[in-house]
Each structure stands twice: as C-alpha cells, then as structure tokens.
Amino acid sequence: MSSNLNVLKWLFALVLIFGGFTIYKIFGVLAVDLGDKEYVWLVEIISEFGLFTSVVISVGFFHHWIIATEERKETEKIFHSVLTKYIDGTVINAKKRGFLGITEKELDFSEIMHGLYPGDYVYWMITFDPRYRHYCREFELAIKKGVHFRMLILKDGPTSEHHAKEIIGFGAEEFRQYNRLFLSSLEDIAGRINEKDEGTLGVFVYDYEHLPSTPLFIILRKKSKVLEVFNSFYLSEPIGRMPYLHWQSDLKDDNRYFFESEQWNMPDLFLDYFHRHWMIERHNLTMADKDKSPYNDFVYAPALARKKCIRLSGESDVLNGSESM
C-alpha cells in the first residue's frame, strides 16, 4: 500500500513539472499572439505561474532524490554510531554484567519469600531492617519448607552508633534498640526450628571498624541454577525504605574469584564479597572452638546441626583444614 502511494506521489510531481512547463509554453505563445489586448496580463501571469510551478517542483524533486538522500545517509550514520555506542556501552554491557533493573522503592520481602523453593540458599548482609518484624512468620515458614539462610548482621556497638548518626529520623539509642530487636527476633525463630524442618539458619553477628559497603540480599536458586542479587546503599534513609538494584546471572558450580576474566559480572562479585566476610566470621568461630572459648555471636538452627549451619552452598559436609569443626 505504501509503495503504491509513493508511486502516485512521484507521478503527481512529474505531472506538475511537465504540466507547469506546458502551461508556461502554451500561455507564453498565446500572450505573444494576443499582442496589446487588455487582458494579456492575465495570460502572462498564468504562463509565469506554470513556469514557477515547474521550477519549484523540479528543485524539490532534485533535492529529495540527490541532496536529501545524501543528508539522510549521513544522519543515519551518525544516529547508528550514537545508538550503537549507547546500546553496546550501556544496555548490552549492563545485561552482560547481570543488571536487570531497580526496584520502585522498597524491596518486596514478601514476594521474595514466597518465590523461594526447598534447597535454595539466601545470603543476607545487613545492619537491620525495621520492617523485619512484619515478615518474621514468612521468614520462618521459608526455613521450615527447606530454604537455607546465611546472615551477617551488625553487632550493637560503636559502629552501629556511627551509622545511626547518618540516618534521618533515627537516634543512636533507637537504632541500637532496633538492632537488638532484630537479633532477638532471629533468636526466637531459631528456637522454633527443629530437626524435622528441612531448612537451616546461620547468623553471624559481626563487629567491623567500618560499615559494610552495601546491604546485600543474595538468592542462590538451586533448581533453576540462577544467582539473583539485590543490593542497595547506606545513605541518609533507613535501608528498609531504600530502593535496591536487581542483578542476575547463572549460578556456577565453580565459585572461584574470576574478576580478571572477560566474563566477569556483578552478581559473582557480590557473592564473593559475602563469601569472604562469612569466612572471616567462621574462622573466628573455629578459633574460639579450638580454644574452648565461649562464642555468642553465632545464632543457628536446628540446634543439632551446627556444622551444617556454618556451611555455605556447595560446601561438603566435612569442612577441611583450619575450618573443620
């Protein structure tokens, strides 16, 4: 349909060109023949109008086919160059590195809990989430149906007080109360998990001189072999109200650090970050056990599965070397 319309347009242009020129010649001759007639001026105007129409349409025809075509080609080259740079440098590269998007605002904890399946692992690194008390039941049910949670939460102390000063609407004491409540809630859940439940819970309460670099929520989906990560930032708003960046990549059997590879992606870097911090805390626990010293900064469930609760996804039942219990 469009091709036929284009043909009609060009035929109409040609009619105007040759028709205008014909009118110019015919009425030009007629004006000469009329000589000094009083209405000869009208014939001359019609003749000149025919010439004007023929010339204008001819110029437009020439511009469209030759000049405009070249201009269009140059514009397409520039557009293609800019678009290619944008797509390759931003969209394709973001996808290649695992970026999926950003949450509207808050992380939908309920939706994530309902989307977990038996055998999945969840790694959670956070100070605390004031909204957590609303989701305790969902958290507990996820463990009971077979999900394994490994958490690193901030210990109540100078570091948490420093963080409280950065948050709008939080005093140091209020922050510490929320921090203690968060840990107390996890201890209550651990007390209700037993050996009949399929999932496990392991929580290290860490104390660093500096804040962790980013809140992390990592999901290792065993069935679909997908590594899914949500990360946010410690800014002036409470982390429970902050938006999260969403990342995803294939879940690899080999978790060795491979940042130097061309195939690096952010989900693997986040996973490695959590893994390194977990190993630090696990080493501290191992040293305390060797020295037969009390260690109160590890919360786990079921109570008879301590060894299992310190393991991360993919680790064997027997921990070798200095990390064996």
CA distance 18 to 20: 5
Q: How far is CA 261 from the centre of its chain?
A: 21
pLDDT beyond 50 at 298: yes
Average pLDDT, the chain: 80
Confidence of residue 318 (pLDDT cuts 50, 70, 90): very low
Spatial contact of 132 and 301, defined as CB atoms under 8 Å apart: no
With beta carbons less than 8 A apart as the criterion, state whether 134 and 185 touch: no
Residue 20 has pLDDT above 50, yes or no: yes
Handedness of CA 86, 271, 209, 215 (dihedral sign): positive
Amino acid at 41: W
How many whole angstroms separate alpha carbon 287 and alpha carbon 294? 11
For the cut 50, the answer to whether the pLDDT of residue 13 exceeds it is yes
Interatomic CA distance for residues 130 and 273, integer angstroms: 24
Phi-psi region of 218 (alpha: psi -120 to 50; beta: other; left: phi over 0): beta
pLDDT at 63: 63
Phi, psi for residue 52 in degrees, rounded to 5: -60, -45
The model scores a pTM over 0.75: no
Residue type, 13: A
Question: Could you say which architecture CATH assigns to the domain 100-323?
Answer: 2-Layer Sandwich (3.30)
Where does the pLDDT of residue 103 fall: very low under 50, low under 70, confident under 90, or very high at 90 and above? confident
Higher pLDDT, 111 or 80: 111
Does residue 171 carry a pLDDT above 90?
no
